[in-house]
Structure 1
Amino acid sequence: MNGLISVIVTTYNWTEALAACLLSLSDQQDRQFEIVIADDGSTPVTQRLVTDFIETSPIPTRHVWHEDHGFRAGTIRNKAVATSRGDYLLFIDGDCLTLPDFILRHRQLAETGYFVPGNRVLLDQNYTEQLLKQKIPLHRQSFSFFVVQWLCRRINRVLPLLYLPLNRWRYRRPHNWQKAMTCNLAVWKNDFLAVNGFDEVFEGWGYEDSDLVIRLIHHGIHRKEGRFAAPVLHLWHRHNDRSRHDENYQRLLRRVADEAVIRAERGVDQYVEKA
């Protein structure tokens, strides 16, 4: 994959984490990408951070914002994609840190007919707070450094940080949608548009990313594992309001069962036409 990658960074009112995320993206070995910050209704403090970043960063960056009407991550991601210029989309969250070879590894994994979910290493609460307070550039640290953090129980695991060469095992579960999350998910833009992006009928927290993956699979796009190649370091955060969990989960199960459902009911097309 040789073209421009659009990195969609979802954020909401956590400037310290977003600053760390953007710093890690600034340190990428592969520079052929753009950043689109999908802001789900943050206050002007985030706008000031993004404005300062845009003025100093060599990476082309845009800020897409809408008013805060509750958790609408799927909606703001759709709006961000509508402004994107790349042929390949890479979704991460604004509380995730990327290692310097993150973009490069995802570019190597990109393949027509596949979406690629990466995995993550979780930080605990105390270490997250220490990291952000002291502005430790965690993404620049060595593997041995992370082994120490794991032994100290500051991170939940260390094996995802190992790199395994590309091989056939990455294709062994082509129809598996579980644990494919938009904190680390890559998909061709044409495939995203073909299924009409995220379905905004999933209101509140829960399963809008799983629904996207399920419809991609129904459309004939298969899973290719990004594990042991392109992990993210996921900062600890409190859970979002999960009052819509059960309703969204039941909707998701209906989508799994109905292979005829490919396009989102309310999706990205409503913004692409206006972009």
Structure 2
Amino acid sequence: MLISVIVTTYNRPDALAAVLRGLLAQTDPDFEVIIADDGSTDATRAMIDGFRPLPAGGPKRLVHAWQPDDGFRASAARNLGVHASKGEYLIFLDGDCIPRPDFVARHRLLAERGFMVSGSRVLLSERFTAQLLSQQPPAAIHARRFSYWLLQRLAGHANKAIPLLSFPNSRLRHYRSVKWSRIKSCNLAIWRSDYAAVNGFDESFVGWGHEDADLVLRLARHGVRRKGGAFSTEVFHLWHPENTRATESVNRKRVEERMRTGLIRAEIGLCDHPAAGERVIA
């Protein structure tokens, strides 16, 4: 089964390069990388081109799916990324979240029909992130042992370490109900058929906030249950200044309103791609 890792990015090529190095180090090579670019400048495209050609034994494809910079449109970027992908199973990853070498393998292990898998992240400090991105050659933190991360936790450079321990796949990971709280699209896996059935992310959500909660609610109405990926699929989230949350209350209100409706398919979504101005470079 081919897995598509959809990596969202916007004008942060140094962080994206660290993520790509983590993806090139995966133990499971049966996947492709789709960069879902929300309008970055040519610096990001040049960085991506620097990873071509892909090494033998690495991902099957590296695709740059770019849309014009027209404000914060993460939903549209992800839908474009899925449109450009070929995998049967989708893993959404943010371009500042570094995966461990078994990230794809762990998601493959947890993949189960009728379920989406919501993973979690380890937040890194501003100082640690700056040191990491400035090192030459870059530090391969994705390959560090648990003891290293325990020390970083004690030093205040990481917000947690215990979830880096791996627990087995079991029915204990099945949520009894699907809640839209604490869903992070920076580490979320969905079957392509389920994603298409709900027309993907709803692009009427613009600006920061809650487009991922809306997706999960609609997937739940489609019959997809939630499965926990914690203690298995953690990623390392590089520090960055918080995005403006001016749209949060509007988007949150829209999700709360939709909780009282039976909407399943996005108003504007996956089926609206390709769109004018978009580029897909494989």
Normalised TM-score (structure 2): 0.94
**Bigger helix fraction:** 1
- What is the DSSP-based 3-state SS (H/G/I as helix, E as strand, rest coil) of the residue aligned with 1:6? strand
Gaps of 5+ in 2: none
> Deviation of residue 272 (structure 1)?
6.5
* Other-structure match for 1:87: 88
Stretch deviating more after TM superposition (84-93 or 238-247): 238-247
Residue 55 of structure 1 aligns to a residue whose secondary structure is coil
Counterpart residue number, 1:4: 2
Asked whether the 8 Å contact 1:174–1:224 carries over to 2, the reply is no
Residue matched to 1:224: 227
**Runs of 4+, deviation exceeding 4 Å:** 272-275
SS class of match (1:35):
strand
Question: Aligned runs of 1:164-203 on 2, under 5 Å?
Answer: 164-203=167-206
Determine the C-alpha separation between the residues in 2 that align with 1:150 and 1:46: 31
Equivalent pair of 2:4/2:91 in contact (CA under 8 Å): yes
Q: Secondary structure at the match of 2:52?
A: helix
Cα deviation 1:194-214 (Å, max 9, x = unaligned): 000000110111111111111
Is 1:215 matched up with 2:222?
A: no
For residue 149 of structure 1, what is the aligned residue in structure 2?
152
Residues 215-260 of structure 1, C-alpha deviation per residue, up to 9 Å, x if partnerless? 00111100011111111110111111211111111001112222x1
The secondary structure found in structure 1 opposite 2:267 is: coil
SS at match of 1:53: coil
Q: 1:243 aligns with which of 226, 235, 246?
A: 246
In 2, the alpha carbon distance for the partners of 1:173 and 1:189 equals 23
Cα distance in 2 for residues equivalent to 1:7 and 1:80: 9
3-state SS of 1:115 partner: strand
Deviations 1:62-95 (A, max 9, x none): 0000111110000011011011100000000000
2:22 aligns with: 24
Question: Structure 1 269/112 Cα, relative in aligned 2: closer, same or farther at 3 Å?
Answer: same
Preserved CA contact (<8 Å) 2:54 2:62 = no
Asked if residue 233 in structure 1 is aligned to residue 246 in structure 2, the reply is no
Q: Give the partner amino acid of 1:224.
A: K
Aligned residue in 2 for 1:43? 41
Unmatched tracts of structure 1, length 5 or more: none
Task: Give the 3 Å change call, closer, same or farther, for CA 272–170 of structure 1 in structure 2.
Answer: farther
Q: Is the 8 A contact 1:54 1:62 kept in 2?
A: no
Letter of the aligned partner of 1:267 in structure 2?
G
TM-score when scaled to structure 1? 0.96
Q: Does 1:34 align with 2:36?
A: no
Shift of 1:172: 3.2
Code of the residue aligned with 1:161 in structure 2: it is L
Amino acid at match of 1:271: H
**1:174-203 deviation digits (Å, cap 9, x = unpaired):** 312221211000000000000000001101
Supply the AA of the counterpart residue of 1:74: S
- The CA RMSD measured in Å over matched residues stands at 1.4
**How far is 1:52 from its partner?**
1.4
For residues 102-126 of structure 1, give each alpha carbon's deviation from its aligned partner in whole angstroms, at most 9, with x where no partner exists: 1000000000000000011000100
Instruction: Identify if the C-alpha distance between structure 1 residues 273 and 110 changes in structure 2 by more than 3 Å, giving closer, same or farther.
Output: farther
Shift of 1:273: 9.8
Alignment CA distance shift 1:128-1:273 (3 Å): closer
Post-superposition offset of 1:168: 2.3
* Aligned-pair CA distance for 1:166: 1.5
Indicate yes or no: 2:77 matched with 1:76.
Answer: yes
Matches within 5 A, 1:57-68: 57=55, 58-59=58-59, 60-68=61-69
Q: Give the distance between the partners of 1:235 and 1:261, measured in 2 at CA.
A: 35
